[in-house]
Amino acid sequence: MRILITGGAGFIGSHLCDRLLADGHTVIAMDNLITGNTDNIAHLAGDRRFSFIFHDVTQYIYVEGPLDAVLHFASPASPVDYLNYPIQTLKVGALGTHKALGLAKAKAARFLLASTSEVYGDPLVHPQTEDYWGNVNPIGPRGVYDEAKRFAEALTLAYQRTHGLETRIVRIFNTYGPRMRINDGRVVPNFIYQALHSQPLTVYGDGSQTRSFCYVSDLVEGVVRLLHSEEPEPVNIGNPAEMTILQFAETINRLTGNPAGIVRRPLPVDDPQQRRPDISKAQRVLGGWTPATPLEQGLASTVADFRQRLGLL
Protein backbone atom coordinates (compact mmCIF):
# COMPACT_ATOMS: atom_id res chain seq x y z
CA MET A 1 0.00 0.00 0.00
CA ARG A 2 0.98 3.65 -0.45
CA ILE A 3 -0.04 5.48 2.72
CA LEU A 4 -0.11 9.12 3.84
CA ILE A 5 0.22 9.85 7.57
CA THR A 6 -0.60 13.41 8.58
CA GLY A 7 1.21 14.29 11.79
CA GLY A 8 3.81 11.75 10.70
CA ALA A 9 6.66 13.48 12.57
CA GLY A 10 4.79 13.32 15.88
CA PHE A 11 5.11 10.79 18.68
CA ILE A 12 2.52 8.24 17.53
CA GLY A 13 2.74 9.20 13.85
CA SER A 14 6.46 8.42 13.67
CA HIS A 15 5.97 5.00 15.27
CA LEU A 16 3.25 4.32 12.70
CA CYS A 17 5.72 5.23 9.95
CA ASP A 18 8.16 2.66 11.35
CA ARG A 19 5.54 -0.07 11.60
CA LEU A 20 4.00 0.44 8.16
CA LEU A 21 7.42 0.56 6.50
CA ALA A 22 8.35 -2.65 8.33
CA ASP A 23 5.15 -4.19 6.94
CA GLY A 24 6.39 -3.42 3.41
CA HIS A 25 4.30 -0.35 2.59
CA THR A 26 5.35 2.98 1.08
CA VAL A 27 4.83 5.82 3.55
CA ILE A 28 4.52 9.59 3.13
CA ALA A 29 4.71 11.59 6.37
CA MET A 30 3.19 15.07 6.38
CA ASP A 31 3.68 17.55 9.23
CA ASN A 32 3.94 21.31 9.86
CA LEU A 33 6.17 20.60 12.90
CA ILE A 34 4.19 22.75 15.37
CA THR A 35 4.42 19.85 17.82
CA GLY A 36 6.11 17.22 15.63
CA ASN A 37 9.87 16.92 15.19
CA THR A 38 11.93 15.62 12.27
CA ASP A 39 14.25 13.96 14.82
CA ASN A 40 11.48 11.37 15.19
CA ILE A 41 11.80 10.33 11.55
CA ALA A 42 15.46 11.18 10.84
CA HIS A 43 16.40 7.47 10.92
CA LEU A 44 14.06 6.89 7.94
CA ALA A 45 15.79 9.37 5.63
CA GLY A 46 17.65 6.67 3.70
CA ASP A 47 14.60 4.50 3.07
CA ARG A 48 13.50 4.86 -0.56
CA ARG A 49 9.92 3.91 0.44
CA PHE A 50 9.69 6.86 2.83
CA SER A 51 9.24 10.56 2.10
CA PHE A 52 8.40 13.65 4.13
CA ILE A 53 6.29 16.67 3.12
CA PHE A 54 6.35 19.83 5.22
CA HIS A 55 2.77 21.09 5.03
CA ASP A 56 -0.07 22.50 7.14
CA VAL A 57 -3.03 20.18 6.56
CA THR A 58 -5.54 22.98 7.17
CA GLN A 59 -4.51 24.12 3.68
CA TYR A 60 -5.27 22.21 0.47
CA ILE A 61 -3.35 18.92 0.45
CA TYR A 62 -1.66 17.81 -2.77
CA VAL A 63 0.02 14.42 -3.03
CA GLU A 64 1.21 13.20 -6.38
CA GLY A 65 0.27 9.69 -7.45
CA PRO A 66 -2.09 7.09 -6.00
CA LEU A 67 -2.86 6.60 -2.32
CA ASP A 68 -4.40 3.53 -0.71
CA ALA A 69 -4.89 5.01 2.76
CA VAL A 70 -4.84 8.34 4.58
CA LEU A 71 -4.17 8.21 8.33
CA HIS A 72 -5.06 11.57 9.89
CA PHE A 73 -2.95 11.96 13.03
CA ALA A 74 -2.20 15.69 12.76
CA SER A 75 -3.18 17.61 15.90
CA PRO A 76 -1.75 19.05 19.08
CA ALA A 77 -2.52 16.35 21.62
CA SER A 78 -1.49 17.48 25.10
CA PRO A 79 -3.09 20.09 27.38
CA VAL A 80 0.04 22.26 27.16
CA ASP A 81 -0.17 22.22 23.36
CA TYR A 82 -3.86 22.85 22.89
CA LEU A 83 -3.84 25.57 25.53
CA ASN A 84 -0.92 27.23 23.70
CA TYR A 85 -2.46 26.63 20.26
CA PRO A 86 -6.24 26.67 20.78
CA ILE A 87 -7.17 28.03 17.35
CA GLN A 88 -4.72 25.76 15.52
CA THR A 89 -6.17 22.80 17.43
CA LEU A 90 -9.70 23.67 16.35
CA LYS A 91 -8.57 24.29 12.77
CA VAL A 92 -6.72 21.00 12.38
CA GLY A 93 -9.70 19.11 13.79
CA ALA A 94 -12.13 20.86 11.47
CA LEU A 95 -10.36 22.21 8.37
CA GLY A 96 -7.54 19.66 8.52
CA THR A 97 -9.94 16.75 8.75
CA HIS A 98 -11.97 18.21 5.88
CA LYS A 99 -8.87 18.52 3.67
CA ALA A 100 -7.65 15.03 4.57
CA LEU A 101 -11.08 13.52 3.87
CA GLY A 102 -11.20 15.37 0.55
CA LEU A 103 -7.84 13.88 -0.40
CA ALA A 104 -8.97 10.37 0.56
CA LYS A 105 -12.14 10.81 -1.51
CA ALA A 106 -10.18 12.07 -4.54
CA LYS A 107 -7.76 9.13 -4.32
CA ALA A 108 -10.45 6.54 -3.46
CA ALA A 109 -8.33 5.76 -0.37
CA ARG A 110 -9.36 4.34 2.98
CA PHE A 111 -9.40 7.05 5.69
CA LEU A 112 -8.47 6.48 9.33
CA LEU A 113 -9.08 9.24 11.89
CA ALA A 114 -7.06 9.46 15.08
CA SER A 115 -9.67 10.50 17.62
CA THR A 116 -9.27 10.48 21.37
CA SER A 117 -10.68 9.37 24.70
CA GLU A 118 -11.19 13.11 25.34
CA VAL A 119 -14.44 12.88 23.35
CA TYR A 120 -15.83 11.32 26.55
CA GLY A 121 -14.86 14.41 28.59
CA ASP A 122 -15.03 13.88 32.36
CA PRO A 123 -17.04 10.68 32.01
CA LEU A 124 -20.10 9.76 34.03
CA VAL A 125 -19.85 6.19 32.70
CA HIS A 126 -16.94 3.97 33.75
CA PRO A 127 -15.22 2.32 31.96
CA GLN A 128 -15.97 4.15 28.72
CA THR A 129 -17.66 2.24 25.90
CA GLU A 130 -17.93 3.50 22.33
CA ASP A 131 -21.68 4.08 22.63
CA TYR A 132 -21.22 6.58 25.49
CA TRP A 133 -21.84 10.15 24.26
CA GLY A 134 -19.59 11.83 26.80
CA ASN A 135 -19.66 14.65 29.35
CA VAL A 136 -17.77 17.53 27.72
CA ASN A 137 -17.61 21.22 28.63
CA PRO A 138 -17.58 22.78 25.13
CA ILE A 139 -16.40 26.21 26.33
CA GLY A 140 -13.86 25.15 28.94
CA PRO A 141 -10.10 25.41 28.28
CA ARG A 142 -9.95 21.75 27.19
CA GLY A 143 -12.99 22.16 24.92
CA VAL A 144 -10.89 23.22 21.92
CA TYR A 145 -9.41 19.71 21.73
CA ASP A 146 -12.49 17.75 22.83
CA GLU A 147 -14.82 19.49 20.40
CA ALA A 148 -12.29 19.46 17.53
CA LYS A 149 -12.14 15.67 17.77
CA ARG A 150 -15.89 15.28 18.21
CA PHE A 151 -16.44 17.38 15.08
CA ALA A 152 -13.78 15.38 13.24
CA GLU A 153 -15.63 12.16 14.05
CA ALA A 154 -18.94 13.63 12.86
CA LEU A 155 -17.36 14.85 9.61
CA THR A 156 -15.68 11.50 9.00
CA LEU A 157 -18.96 9.63 9.35
CA ALA A 158 -20.70 12.24 7.15
CA TYR A 159 -18.20 11.45 4.37
CA GLN A 160 -18.81 7.75 4.92
CA ARG A 161 -22.59 8.11 4.69
CA THR A 162 -22.71 10.73 1.94
CA HIS A 163 -19.82 9.70 -0.32
CA GLY A 164 -19.42 6.01 0.55
CA LEU A 165 -15.85 6.65 1.69
CA GLU A 166 -14.26 3.79 3.60
CA THR A 167 -13.54 5.25 7.05
CA ARG A 168 -12.12 4.02 10.35
CA ILE A 169 -12.02 5.89 13.68
CA VAL A 170 -9.68 5.05 16.56
CA ARG A 171 -10.32 6.60 19.97
CA ILE A 172 -6.86 6.70 21.52
CA PHE A 173 -6.48 6.47 25.28
CA ASN A 174 -3.33 7.53 27.19
CA THR A 175 -0.33 6.27 25.24
CA TYR A 176 3.33 6.50 26.22
CA GLY A 177 6.75 5.41 24.99
CA PRO A 178 10.00 6.62 23.39
CA ARG A 179 9.84 9.89 21.41
CA MET A 180 7.27 11.58 23.65
CA ARG A 181 8.17 15.25 23.81
CA ILE A 182 10.13 15.99 26.96
CA ASN A 183 8.10 19.21 27.51
CA ASP A 184 4.86 17.56 26.39
CA GLY A 185 3.08 18.49 29.62
CA ARG A 186 1.32 15.16 30.10
CA VAL A 187 1.82 13.02 33.15
CA VAL A 188 4.32 10.48 31.76
CA PRO A 189 6.95 12.93 30.42
CA ASN A 190 6.37 15.29 33.37
CA PHE A 191 7.01 12.57 35.93
CA ILE A 192 9.98 11.06 34.11
CA TYR A 193 11.65 14.44 33.61
CA GLN A 194 11.17 15.39 37.24
CA ALA A 195 12.34 12.00 38.50
CA LEU A 196 15.49 12.01 36.35
CA HIS A 197 16.36 15.44 37.77
CA SER A 198 15.71 14.27 41.34
CA GLN A 199 12.76 16.64 41.68
CA PRO A 200 9.51 15.87 43.54
CA LEU A 201 6.79 14.67 41.18
CA THR A 202 3.90 17.14 40.76
CA VAL A 203 0.59 15.46 41.55
CA TYR A 204 -2.54 17.53 40.97
CA GLY A 205 -5.36 17.30 43.48
CA ASP A 206 -5.20 14.39 45.92
CA GLY A 207 -3.90 12.01 43.24
CA SER A 208 -6.98 9.79 43.36
CA GLN A 209 -7.89 10.50 39.73
CA THR A 210 -7.25 7.46 37.56
CA ARG A 211 -5.57 6.84 34.21
CA SER A 212 -4.61 3.81 32.16
CA PHE A 213 -1.40 3.70 30.13
CA CYS A 214 -0.92 1.92 26.80
CA TYR A 215 2.57 1.37 25.38
CA VAL A 216 2.97 2.85 21.92
CA SER A 217 3.76 -0.43 20.11
CA ASP A 218 0.52 -1.94 21.46
CA LEU A 219 -1.44 1.09 20.28
CA VAL A 220 0.18 0.94 16.82
CA GLU A 221 -0.69 -2.76 16.53
CA GLY A 222 -4.32 -1.90 17.25
CA VAL A 223 -4.34 0.97 14.74
CA VAL A 224 -2.88 -1.22 11.99
CA ARG A 225 -5.44 -3.93 12.68
CA LEU A 226 -8.22 -1.33 12.58
CA LEU A 227 -6.94 0.03 9.26
CA HIS A 228 -7.20 -3.43 7.73
CA SER A 229 -10.50 -4.29 9.42
CA GLU A 230 -14.04 -3.79 8.17
CA GLU A 231 -15.18 -1.80 11.24
CA PRO A 232 -16.55 1.65 10.23
CA GLU A 233 -17.58 2.89 13.70
CA PRO A 234 -15.27 4.24 16.45
CA VAL A 235 -13.09 1.76 18.35
CA ASN A 236 -11.37 2.36 21.70
CA ILE A 237 -7.67 1.47 21.73
CA GLY A 238 -5.95 1.66 25.09
CA ASN A 239 -4.96 -0.31 28.16
CA PRO A 240 -7.78 -1.15 30.60
CA ALA A 241 -5.35 -1.56 33.53
CA GLU A 242 -6.36 1.44 35.66
CA MET A 243 -4.32 3.08 38.40
CA THR A 244 -4.41 6.30 40.38
CA ILE A 245 -2.04 9.13 39.53
CA LEU A 246 -0.58 8.78 43.03
CA GLN A 247 0.18 5.09 42.41
CA PHE A 248 1.72 5.99 39.05
CA ALA A 249 3.93 8.66 40.63
CA GLU A 250 5.14 6.16 43.23
CA THR A 251 5.94 3.68 40.43
CA ILE A 252 8.02 6.25 38.54
CA ASN A 253 9.94 7.23 41.67
CA ARG A 254 10.68 3.58 42.42
CA LEU A 255 11.82 2.73 38.86
CA THR A 256 14.12 5.76 38.66
CA GLY A 257 15.35 5.68 42.24
CA ASN A 258 14.13 9.23 42.78
CA PRO A 259 14.29 10.14 46.48
CA ALA A 260 12.49 13.50 46.17
CA GLY A 261 8.97 12.22 46.71
CA ILE A 262 5.79 14.03 45.64
CA VAL A 263 4.44 17.59 45.78
CA ARG A 264 0.76 18.44 45.38
CA ARG A 265 -0.81 21.23 43.30
CA PRO A 266 -4.46 22.29 42.67
CA LEU A 267 -6.40 20.22 40.14
CA PRO A 268 -6.69 21.87 36.67
CA VAL A 269 -10.09 22.90 35.30
CA ASP A 270 -12.12 20.04 33.74
CA ASP A 271 -9.40 17.47 34.47
CA PRO A 272 -11.11 14.05 34.08
CA GLN A 273 -11.44 12.09 37.31
CA GLN A 274 -11.57 8.68 35.66
CA ARG A 275 -10.23 7.38 32.39
CA ARG A 276 -10.27 3.70 31.42
CA PRO A 277 -11.29 2.18 28.10
CA ASP A 278 -13.67 -0.68 27.63
CA ILE A 279 -11.77 -2.58 24.91
CA SER A 280 -14.23 -5.43 24.42
CA LYS A 281 -15.16 -4.08 20.98
CA ALA A 282 -11.48 -3.90 19.91
CA GLN A 283 -10.95 -7.46 21.10
CA ARG A 284 -14.00 -8.57 19.14
CA VAL A 285 -13.40 -6.79 15.82
CA LEU A 286 -9.58 -6.62 15.74
CA GLY A 287 -8.74 -10.30 15.97
CA GLY A 288 -8.42 -10.48 19.73
CA TRP A 289 -6.17 -7.42 20.02
CA THR A 290 -5.11 -6.65 23.58
CA PRO A 291 -2.21 -4.69 25.10
CA ALA A 292 0.81 -6.95 25.59
CA THR A 293 3.47 -4.71 27.19
CA PRO A 294 3.64 -4.71 31.02
CA LEU A 295 3.70 -1.18 32.46
CA GLU A 296 7.13 -1.48 34.09
CA GLN A 297 8.67 -2.87 30.89
CA GLY A 298 7.25 -0.02 28.82
CA LEU A 299 8.30 2.56 31.38
CA ALA A 300 11.85 1.16 31.43
CA SER A 301 12.14 1.71 27.66
CA THR A 302 10.65 5.19 27.96
CA VAL A 303 12.93 6.21 30.84
CA ALA A 304 15.97 4.96 28.89
CA ASP A 305 14.92 7.05 25.89
CA PHE A 306 14.50 10.14 28.07
CA ARG A 307 17.90 9.58 29.71
CA GLN A 308 19.55 9.46 26.29
CA ARG A 309 17.84 12.57 24.94
CA LEU A 310 18.51 14.49 28.16
CA GLY A 311 22.18 13.47 28.09
CA LEU A 312 21.89 11.73 31.47
CA LEU A 313 23.43 8.37 30.50
Question: Helix 11-22 vs helix 216-227: angle between axes, to the nearest 10 degrees?
Answer: 60
Is 90 exceeded by the pLDDT of residue 11? yes
Over residues 270-287, mean pLDDT: 89
Over residues 263-271, mean pLDDT: 80
From 3.30.565.60, 3.90.1150.10, 3.40.50.720, 3.30.70.340, which CATH number describes the 2-175+214-240+276-292 domain?
3.40.50.720
- Pick the catalytic residue from 82, 85, 120, 145: 145
Over residues 196-220, mean pLDDT: 94
Contacts of 228 by beta carbon, 8 Å cutoff, 6+ apart: none
Assign 19 to helix, strand or coil.
helix
Over residues 59-71, mean pLDDT: 98
- H or E element: which one contains 86? helix 86-91
Q: Which of 121, 109, 123, 181 is nearest to 149 (CA)?
A: 121
Share of the chain above pLDDT 70, in %: 99
Is 80 exceeded by the pLDDT of residue 269? no
Over residues 178-189, mean pLDDT: 93
176 counts as catalytic: no
**Rounded Cα–Cα distance for residues 200 and 181 (Å):** 20
Burial pattern 200-222, b for ≥16 Cβ within 10 A else e, equals bbebeeebebbbbbbbbbbbbbb
Is 90 exceeded by the pLDDT of residue 268? no
Residue 270: the pLDDT is: 64
Cis peptide bond prior to 127, omega within 30° of 0: yes
Assign 303 to helix, strand or coil.
helix
Confidence of residue 141 (pLDDT cuts 50, 70, 90): confident
Domain ranges of the chain: 2-175+214-240+276-292
**Rounded Cα–Cα distance for residues 167 and 160 (Å):** 6
- Mean pLDDT, rounded, of the chain: 95
pTM for this model (two decimals): 0.95
Confidence of residue 313 (pLDDT cuts 50, 70, 90): confident
